[in-house]
Structure 1
Amino acid sequence: MKKVAALATLLALTSALAASPKDTLVYQSSSDIPTMDPGVTYDTASGGVVENIYETLVTYSGASLSKLEPLLATKWTISNGGKTYTFDLRKGVKFHSGNAFSCADAEYTFERNLVTNSAESGNWFLAESLLGTGANAADDKTITWARIDKAVECNNAGQLIFNLPAVDPAFLAKLAFAGQSVVDSKYAAGLGEWNGKEATWKDWVGKDLTNSKLSQAPSGTGAYKLVRKDSNTLLATAFDGYWGKKPAIKNIVIQKVSELAARQQAFLRGDADLIDGGGRAVDETQVKGKAGVTWVDNLDNTVATAFFMNQNIKNPALLGSGKLDGKGIPATFFKDANVRRAFSYAFDYQKYITDVQKGKGKQRTMLLPEIFGGYDAKVSKYTYDKAKAESFFKRAYGGQLWKNGFVLTANYRQGSEPSQKAMEILKANLEALNPKFRVNIQAKQWSEMLKDSKDGKEAMTIMGWAPDYADPDNFMYTFYSSNGYYNPRLNWKDSQIDKWLEQARSTVNTTERNRLYSLVGKKAFEQAPYILMPAGINYIFMRDNLVGVSASNYNPMISFAATGTFWKELSKK
């Protein structure tokens, strides 16, 4: 009866704010949780839940981004010249349904991910490793069931075997991604999800799993299991049958609270242990230094952000006259490297760091966080230089650009103050160079910007990339390859850079990979396809009785509330 009464009290807590008990963690989020199906998890809000209800074969060792350790696996071997991975799997593990975990569940999981793969699911990079293409069978007719079935299989000893068509130095890191968490195959099939059979696989190709039955009622092997979820609240509780160390915190409550002021008030009262903040400037003013608050600063930032300069703008509405006549721009305006270099010298990086990041920012030399291998601090970087900007503008288009001027229309993400301020800084500096230069900036809904930029319809946008897996390939290929995820937004190609990036993908020699990425960074500086935005410095704040979140164990690849920590590692004093 005590257990029933306690649960009833906790359920009441999820509907109305109350002081957070010692055995309960309350996190107030600004957004909802789109899915709890690992097969389509590709956002931080979903990842923060999935990574705690489910488990992957491997995980990060503490705060390290380069060292991986077994989780549902116990060990692995690599053979066949780096193309075959054999995993021994943990025994005595149960799913929340009560089903025993086996190799069949792991095989089902990865085959399901390959079958349902779409660009929105995050499984494209798994498909690149196992099938040699990021496409699914609907987009690439060479993908057959035989190829999928061969890519991942169980042997007679119960070991899981991956057969890669080519070496992939990032493969293990990809397996640590929350979206590759192992699914309860019998339970999923019982809900009406794919049954894992060849006879039905084509019915599930590219299928959107966001609102799948498995998302609504998940069953993982993680330390916590779902109790309930509605549009505003999620409640999870510690799984009594968990194979690992029992967590100190019994209950997890995630509440969607849209208003920042309401989240701040609940946090300062102690009703919430963690909240989504409002950005450094706001949080330092409203939260830092207040009673009962712990503030952890100077943490690594794994997001890379840039101005995209589209070299083939497929939206006449943004082109004005469509000519270099002072009344608009041609669709290929940014194809001239001198234009891109001039724009790069026209942005005031230090002003952005001072005014927007409140001094807590730094310039990078590449669109690769410095904590990843391959980052070269010696690569040159652009600084705000009016003379150099003017010089390159005068070279552009044989001097016609400087003589005639231009009108550029650029959109920024509505509601994003950092993006707006960045655009305003660039606009002011460009227009101050030449009275014939005009930049029109306007706010646009993020969902519309995402679609239009993917279709090449934005002239200039500001976008960032957070890593799916902890390997430099996830940044360098994404940003700089003509086959990369972001290329449709940029339409830029450099054959030498493409060659270096493919070479880096095909070797496990770390020294060689780092050399190749350095070469890409140097060539990218010369070609200036992007204006690199200064990187912010991460921080966390929490109630001071919460234990387990610190700079020493912070791993930026772990999503939950930006703490870099799993639920099972937290406790309260």
Structure 2
Amino acid sequence: MKSLALLGTLLLAGSAFAAAPRDTLVVQEAADTPTLDPGATYDTASGEIVENIYETLLTYRGNSLRDLKPLLATGWTVSGGGKTYTFDLRKNVKFHSGNPFTCRDAEYSFERNLVTNSAGSGNWFISESLLGTGSNAKDDKSITWAKIDKAVECNNNGQLVFTLPKVDPAFLAKLAFVGQSIVDSKHATGLGEWNGTEADWKNWIGKDLQGSKLNAQPSGTGAYRLVRRDPNTILLQAFPNYWGGPPAIKNVLVQKVPELAARQQAFLRGDADIIEGGGRSVDERQVKGKPGVTWVDNLPNTFAEALFLNEKIQNPKLLGSGKLDGRGIPANFFSDVNVRRCFAYAFNYGQYIQDVQRGKGKQRTMLLPDTFPGYAPNVKTYRYDPAQAKAACQQAWGGQMWQNGFILNANYRTGSVPAQTAMEILKKNLEALNPRFHIHLQPKQWSEMLTDANQGKEAIIPLGWAPDYADPDNFMYTFYSSGGYFFPASNWKDAQVDQWLEQARTITNQAERSRLYSLVGQRAYEQAPYVLLPAPVNYTFYRDTLLGAGAANFNPMTNFLATGTHWKDLSKK
């Protein structure tokens, strides 16, 4: 009870921290948490918490990216020429509400994701597997209730059966994604969420679940349940009836602390066990080697990051005059390839590696981790070249951009030193080319940026991608296809690239897929839809009182913020 009283004080005090007790994990991060509804979870800040409240059918084994093991499932069989998957489900499992976990909950969860599948969710790729399209029923009239109902069903033995329209070798890995967690159907419908029947399904097609009632009152089967939440703090407690046994950590406190210095001070005092850092350069200077700190280096990096250059900016507030008259930019400013090339040549990649990654970074040729099959090391890359940048700028918009100049307004994530540094490097180098070039930067809350990016309302935005499942398609299609998740944030479309990517999804020959991805990478170099940010060598750090973390248990698909492990696997000495 002493710990809960202390946590209540922390929750109310906001930024007034106290030393973290032994049975309590304190996590501090810069970003807010957009949602606690699995059906809307498609960002790392939300996923970090949702994956500890809810559970999926399958999860990753140890630190493997491809070896899966049962979680809420206990086993499965594949039949029907690779198109039918039958899952045995774990028994004697309870939701936080006290309701028992049944096959109906699993069926409801997947049907709910297929029905509500929206642009801001990660349900497009499970819809592709089960319905043959990443769209919802409003955008694709071939989707019917009968089609959804047939795709996932419970048989008479209480087994969950998926029926795919075609073979998908990545299907099992997709089921391990946090957004496919199993929700409590009785609890959800009792709150007023979709009732799970044909009678009500049309009212929920494409509905944004980010602010759903389930977001406010989650009920999962995971080791931790939500106790309290306010805009700056989330308090969770170990679920006493967790089927996997009681975890050592009894309480978890997740605090939003935008100021990096405040997070660092709390961490070094021992008031926080894990914090979101400020990038390698900052973290090595301020945290590494300090008393009470465990530093783990040379971990695998499975992220891809870029500065998005939006070719159709849907936010008049960022456009100034809305014209290329020296007092603003037009909404299609980045639709000119010479503008994009100018920005790509103006970015100092080496400086970013030194300033943010402390020399431990690598410039990739494409937005795909170099550890994944399909990565093409021979594709050309941009380099910092002021002369080339100037030449491209002078050609842009028939010379108008160079002659008239521009004012461009752009945002970066509040509290993110790497994002801010990247934008400041670009701003400095572009403004040095021409005194008529002006870029105005301002910080913005992550949840707002994410929503606006999905609606095409950001001009330039630093965005990264963590894999949903271990296949190159998850990166290449996501970034480069006009049907991919990031298309609304960039509005870049190339018909030949779309064709190559669709072709790569229909074949199993990895050599041929790699050839197609190489062609995509080369075309992307020529068209410069993004400024590719160098990839860092991954690392993590945490208080040395924390046990269960470290390289041996680190999985980059789990708990992005720091430990690479679920909270239930941690303890404190």
TM-score (norm 2): 0.87
Q: Which runs of structure 2 are paired with 1:426-445 in the superposition (5 Å)?
A: 426-430=426-430, 438-444=436-442
Q: How many residues align?
A: 565
Structure 2 counterpart SS, 1:283: helix
- Kept in 2, the 8 Å contact 1:329–1:407? The answer is no
- CA distance, structure 2, for counterparts of residue 332 and residue 29 of structure 1: 35
Identify the match of residue 411 of structure 1 among 409, 412, 425. 409
Match of 1:502 in 2: 502
CA distance in 2, matches of 1:315, 1:253: 36
The answer for the alignment partner of 1:286 in structure 2 is: 286
Contact 1:319 1:331 in 2 (8 A): no
Which residue does the alignment assign to 1:306? 306
- Ranges in structure 2 where 5+ consecutive residues have no aligned partner: none
Q: CA deviation at 1:319?
A: 8.6
Deviation at 1:170, TM superposition (A): 3.1
Match of 1:68 in 2: 68
Aligned twin of 1:555: 555
- The match for 1:149 is 149
Whichever residue aligns with residue 158 of structure 1, its letter is G
Match of 1:373 in 2: 373
Quick one: which amino acid aligns to residue 274 of structure 1? Answer: I
- Distance verdict in 2 for CA 1:47–1:334, change over 3 Å: closer
Secondary structure of the residue that 1:51 maps to in structure 2?
helix
Shift of residue 524, structure 1, vs aligned partner: 2.0
1:550 & 1:141 partners in 2: Cα distance?
48
Instruction: Choose 212-221 or 400-409, whichever is displaced more.
Output: 400-409
* Aligned residue number for residue 114 of structure 1: 114
Q: 1:404 to 1:233 in 2, by over 3 A?
A: closer
Amino acid at match of 1:308: F
Aligned to 2:352: 352
8 Å contact from structure 1 (residues 58, 70) kept in 2: yes
Q: Tell which structure's C-alpha radius of gyration is larger.
A: 1
Deviation at 1:318, TM superposition (A): 4.1
SS of the aligned residue for 2:539 comes to strand
Shift of 1:258: 4.5
C-alpha deviation, 1:109, in angstroms: 0.7
Equivalence for 1:523: 523
Distance 1:134 1:282, change over 3 A: same
Aligned residue identity for 1:443? L
Query: 1:214-293 counterparts in 2 under 5 A?
Result: 214-293=214-293
TM-score of the superposition, structure 1-length normalised?
0.87
Question: Aligned-pair distance for 1:315?
Answer: 7.2
Q: Which residue of 2 aligns with 1:196?
A: 196
Q: Cα distance 1:560–1:314, how it changes in 2: closer, same or farther (>3 A)?
A: closer
Provide the rounded CA distance (Å) in 1 between the counterparts of 2:356 and 2:419. Answer: 10
Deviations 1:251-303 (A, max 9, x none): 32333444444433332222221223344343333322221111223333333
> Percent identity at matched positions?
66
Distance 1:426 1:11 in 2: 43
- For the 8 Å contact 1:393–1:402, the answer to whether it is kept is no
What is the aligned partner in structure 2 of residue 536 from structure 1? 536
SS in 1 for 2:106: helix
Change (3 A) 1:516 1:86: farther
Which stretch of the first structure deviates more once superposed, 181-190 or 409-418? 409-418
CA gap 1:80/1:93 in 2 versus in 1, 3 angstroms: same
Do the aligned residues in 1 keep the contact of 2:407 with 2:437 (CA within 8 Å)? yes
CA distance in 1, matches of 2:313, 2:34: 32
> 1:405/1:328 Cα in 2 relative to 1: closer, same or farther (>3 Å)?
farther
Aligned match of 2:82: 82
Bigger mean CA deviation after superposition, 351-360 or 339-348: 339-348
Q: Residues of 2 paired with 1:256 and 1:232: CA distance?
A: 5
Task: Provide the C-alpha distance between the structure 1 equivalents of 2:322 and 2:38, rounded to a whole number of angstroms.
Answer: 47
Deviations 1:283-336 (A, max 9, x none): 33332222111122333333322233444567788497956x999877766555
Displacement of 1:182: 0.7
Give the letter aligned to residue 75 of structure 2: K
**Aligned twin of 2:167:** 167
Aligned-residue offset at 1:560: 5.6
* Mapped contact 2:410–2:458 kept (Cα < 8 A): no
Contact 1:168 1:507 in 2 (8 A): no
What is aligned with 1:103? 103
Query: Which deviates further from its counterpart, 455-464 or 311-320?
Result: 311-320
State the Cα distance separating 1:432 from its structure 2 match: 5.5
Q: Which amino acid aligns with 1:504?
A: A
Deviation larger for 239-248 or 368-377: 239-248
Q: State the SS of the aligned residue for 1:179.
A: helix
Give the Å deviation of 1:520: 1.6
Structure 2 residue identity aligned to 1:413: N
Instruction: State the Cα distance separating 1:108 from its structure 2 match.
Output: 0.8
Contact between 1:238 and 1:247, CA under 8 Å: does it hold in 2?
yes
Report the RMSD for the aligned CA atoms in angstroms.
3.3
Task: Output the CA distance in 1 between the equivalents of 2:269 and 2:147.
Answer: 56
What SS class does the counterpart of residue 440 from structure 1 fall into? strand
Query: Relative to structure 1, is the Cα distance of residues 423 and 293 closer, same or farther in structure 2, using a 3 angstrom cutoff?
Result: closer
Unaligned runs of 5+ in 1: none
